[in-house]
Amino acid sequence: MKEINLDNISLIQADIIDEEYKVNKKDIAIIGMSGRIGSCQKLERFWEELVQGKYQINKLSKERASDNVDILKVQGGTGDECKFYEAAFMDDIDKFDYEFFGFSPKEASLLNPHQRLILENVWSTIEDAGYGGGQLRGSNTGVFLGLMSDAGDDYRDYALKTNETMVGITSVGNMNSIASGRISYQFDLKGPSMTIDTACSSGLTAVHLACRAIRFGDCDLAVVGSVKIDIVPVDNGNTDIDIMSSDSRTRTFDDNADGTSRGEGVCSILLKSYAKALEDGDQIYAIIKGSALNQDGSSIGLTAPNSIAQEEVITRAWADAGIAPDTIAYIEAHGTGTKLGDSVEISAIDKAFSRYTNKKQFCAIASLKSNIGHLNQASGVASLIKVVLAMKHQMIPPTINFNRPNRKIDFINSPVYVNDCCLKWKTEGCPRRAGVSAFGLSGTNCHLIIEEAPKKIKETLKYNDENYILVLSAQYEKGIRVLVREYIELLNYHAEIDLANMCITANTGRGHYTFRLAILFTDVDDLKCKLSNIVWKSDLEDITIKGIYYGIHKSSYKENENDEKYSKDTIKATSNLIQKKINQNREVDWNLLEEIAIAYVGGADINWSELYRGKQYQRISLPTYPFQKNRCWVESAEEEKEEYRMRESNHPLLDYCVVDSIYNT
């Protein structure tokens, strides 16, 4: 095998943590992320369960079991005596905010749940980065999805059999090859867009390709994501090529390991050049220093792990990252929990490290599959997010279900040790660094090198603002209330939050919809007090507290159709007037903010970027849009709800229409 020479690699200068890191133009920053993994609706909850060593494998819910009975009946079975395997199941895979994305209920029900989930998750990721509200529309942003070609086939077949007249819409809504294109279309993203299938390594391969695309200028930013759900989790005794655990428990690196378990999840990240992220004031979760991709080639079997190929992909990733291998303190392994796979993986890691160091047991190793099972194509992105969260909290979560080391692995003389307890992640003169592996049954292997973000990202000016404005918006009233509660929680956990950064990120980095709330405040206590008052109000339109403004602005909203205040001409005139005042008055006082708030809740289009022109600020992570949980599931003809039925259309080019938005054109 070809040796890789690290001598010519430009290492981080002295590997010393400094207030200012050396910027390598190859480095890629993770500036946004979101995920629903297993039963965890948010990444914060996911992290809590990792630290607590929670095991997420559970039985299928009654609601999902009922839906499966219907599917099995259509497939020719009775649906009786169904046995479902245990897994880290997601909740609400039948829910989707179809109105938000412009779908009719019928079209949304025929769209595969994989594609519905990733649409919402990508939106949340873009907002988490502070680029919501259409800021990326028309931009050179790429989309890279890791999605196996057969994911969701059961739902497609079910939809086709129950909707024989809707073959075209059903087929398009279930084609995984265009899932990435759907995101690009939905968000008007102009960069390269592709769906990658390398089996279990699909998600991490998508990250690798996205980083390359940014490095070579194919795109300025890249959305990377993956999703995996088991539509019909029937336990039919099939052992899935002998890698599944006998009791739905993954015991990675343990002597009693006999296979992996199953899990579900959807997760995505937003990537950008590290140098550009620093320049633009983006939040930076972590830095992707390097990556590598290779193939097993001809080996003992197509689906068998190849130690030589794994060793090579790891060392190539080190070379690409330009780091000293012995500065890596943690590896998130592929770790399927099979006796052969685990021992092969550790052997590859041992041999890779042995080229450059004789140190023993200096690098922690863990596997997310012990907690949530195997997410197949989404496993690599989920593992990456776990590592990023570990860096953020400076703590390595425990590997669970580990009692006795696999006797085929000599951990005593290995550079790695199994991290079976919650470990404070200390550093010794260099940034926190970690590796992430994903190995596909296809033989495609991928490894990434991750480095923590600098503690001091950008020198921002501290604004001694005496007055602030925060606006919240949603397409339904309950959404406003959800956001209010989430901001209260945010402020309770982060009392030291920079209020200027918060307001600028929220006002410029979110969409502005029908239901609008504007809050004027002077400090964090004032804001918390006003948010708390809003929570207890049964009717938001009755709020009379100074500094709180609420309105429903859309002219087509029935209750306001005849209200002149909501006419398009009035809104446009108000928007222009406010913009003129913003341009004339660079010192924003309470009176101007009050005028802006009143105009905003009345429907005015405020140029928030212009309001903050000239200010240096840092985008920060804030609550994202609270999607409505509308059931979108294929129903039999006799059970189909009225709103799901087709409508005849007067449109000259259509016989019928399933998209409500056509009636607004």
As annotated, the active-site residues are 200, 334, 374
**260: CB partners within 8 A, 6+ apart:** 243, 244, 245, 250, 336, 337, 338, 369, 373, 374
**509: CB partners within 8 A, 6+ apart:** 127, 129, 130, 131, 132, 133, 135, 619, 622
For 193-258, give the DSSP string.
EEEE-BTBTHHHHHHHHHHHHHHTTS-SEEEEEEEE--SS-B--S--TTTTB-TTS---TTBTT--
CB 166 within 8 A of CB 71: no
* Helix extents (H) in 536-650: 568-584, 590-601, 608-611
Q: In what order do the strands lie in the sheet with 330-332?
A: 193-196, 141-146, 221-228, 265-273, 28-37, 286-295, 444-452, 433-439, 330-332, 363-366, 416-418
The token pair at 643 is 């709103």
CB 311 within 8 A of CB 353: no
The token pair at 476 is 């339904």
* SS3 category, 448: strand
- Write out 375-444 in H/E/C secondary structure: CHHHHHHHHHHHHHHHHHHCEECCCCCCCCECCCCCCCCCCEEECCCCEECCCCCCCCEEEEEEECCCCE
CB 57 within 8 A of CB 87: yes
CB 509 within 8 A of CB 131: yes
CB 380 within 8 A of CB 201: yes
CB 621 within 8 A of CB 493: no
Q: CA–CA separation, 96 vs 628, rounded Å? A: 7
Q: CA–CA separation, 349 vs 409, rounded Å? A: 12
Q: CA–CA separation, 118 vs 223, rounded Å? A: 11
Residue 227: half-sphere exposure toward Cβ, Cα within 13 Å: 25
The token pair at 152 is 């969701």
Q: CA–CA separation, 263 vs 240, rounded Å? A: 14
* SS3 category, 467: coil
Burial of 23 (C-beta count, 10 Å sphere; 0-12/13-18/19+): middle
Residue 594, beta-bridge partner list:
none
Question: Residue 34: what are its φ and ψ, rounded to 5°?
Answer: -155, 155
Q: CA–CA separation, 212 vs 236, rounded Å? A: 41
